[in-house]
Structure 1
Amino acid sequence: MARPKNSAVVVIDMINTYEHEDAELLLPAVTGTVPVIARLIERARRSDVPVIYVNDNFGVWRSHHGEVVDTALAGPHADLVEPLRPDEDSLFVLKARHSIFFETPLNYLLSQLDVQHLVLCGQVTEQCVLYSALDAHIRHLGISVPRDAVAHIHAGLAEAALEMMRRNMGAVICDADAVEF
């Protein structure tokens, strides 16, 4: 894969307690993606590529990123959160809906960082990742989605979503190890 210009890794909704509808269907895929995402984050950090966590606030409007992280680490699936824990250089944006852009300051943050290409990883492939990829595409941002670094609820819908991202949004669908920084 060609090295994209001015990239950032965006980790979508991985700071999570998994105490929500569809969690039992999601957890098997999450378990497989966590080590892949952790390696991708580490490679990005070593290459001085920004790592931006964009995470649901789970309807807790008084929450902030530290509270979201602490709640997830105190939850029943802390083992899935700990390897992905934001470090002191990580950026964190809270969202309330599916897209990482919808009513968040992410677009402004990306412009301040001069980011032109997003590497999207996290969950859920057929929901938040898909909608975020579409919103990135309409903002003329390049998109890569490592298929082994996104978790799904429904495998068939996830495959269709990846194909839509590739075909309709020009996303590079690859393995995480093929992402170059």
Structure 2
Amino acid sequence: MPDTALIVIDMINTYEHKDAELLLPSVREALPAMRHLVHRTREAGIEVIYVNDNFGRWRSHHDELLQTALKGPHADLVEPIRPDDDSLFVVKARHSIFYQTPLEYLLGMHGINRIILVGQVTEQCVLYSALDAHIRHLTSVVPPDAVAHIHRDLADAALQMMERNMDVEICASNDVRLKR
């Protein structure tokens, strides 16, 4: 059983928030690398786990979130990265993928101690999730070409902090080793 999982953060999105216009160009740029890495991961038989905001819709579930995003104005950014029938899905309410979610338990049940983080936003959810993974003694990988940002300077600083302070492996998506 592989000890690695790919975690796709907040890509099921309608982009109806205040920073969307700043985020969209970066999402478009990062999407091909994300999509390719998801494809490689699935082919290798490694878990793909989607962890996504619920956008304050406390009655929503993953199918509803996906259908809402696919009906939105930026469905072209959701369709290529959508979960397949084998993907696992965790709904979150805050920035970190771990904060008050069952993700830590899920990873433990699957014997996963190494995570690859892709998605958005580098200087927010990806950074906080990498910190929470570090606190939990998980090994993390973040490919800069497969994460989107709102502010490039803050994203660059976040990647630097992840690498220096949290021992996150920073490498291009094509260089990500899927199995150790």
TM-score of the superposed pair, with normalisation by structure 1: 0.97
Q: Does 1:102 align with 2:99?
A: yes
Aligned equivalents of 2:177, 2:126: Cα separation in 1: 20
Deviations 1:89-137 (A, max 9, x none): 0000000000000000000000001001000000000000000000000
In structure 1, which of residues 159, 167, 179 is the aligned counterpart of residue 164 of structure 2?
A: 167
- Residue correspondence of structure 1 range 150-161 to structure 2 within 5 A: 150-161=147-158
Q: How many residues get paired?
A: 177
**Identity value in percent:** 64
- Partner residue in 2 for 1:86: 83
Secondary structure of the residue that 1:162 maps to in structure 2? helix
- Partner residue in 2 for 1:11: 8
Secondary structure of the residue that 2:77 maps to in structure 1? helix
Secondary structure of the residue that 2:57 maps to in structure 1? coil
- Residue correspondence of structure 1 range 15-164 to structure 2 within 5 A: 15-164=12-161
Name structure 1 gaps, 5 residues minimum.
none
Deviations 1:29-71 (A, max 9, x none): 0001111101000000000110000000000000000000000
Name structure 2 gaps, 5 residues minimum.
none
Aligned equivalents of 2:32, 2:79: Cα separation in 1: 11
**Corresponding letter in the other structure for 2:105:** Y
Deviation at 1:85, TM superposition (A): 0.8
Aligned equivalents of 1:111, 1:38: Cα separation in 2: 26
Deviations 1:130-177 (A, max 9, x none): 000000000000000000000000000000000000000000000000
Aligned equivalents of 2:77, 2:119: Cα separation in 1: 12
Aligned equivalents of 1:76, 1:43: Cα separation in 2: 28
Aligned equivalents of 1:158, 1:116: Cα separation in 2: 25
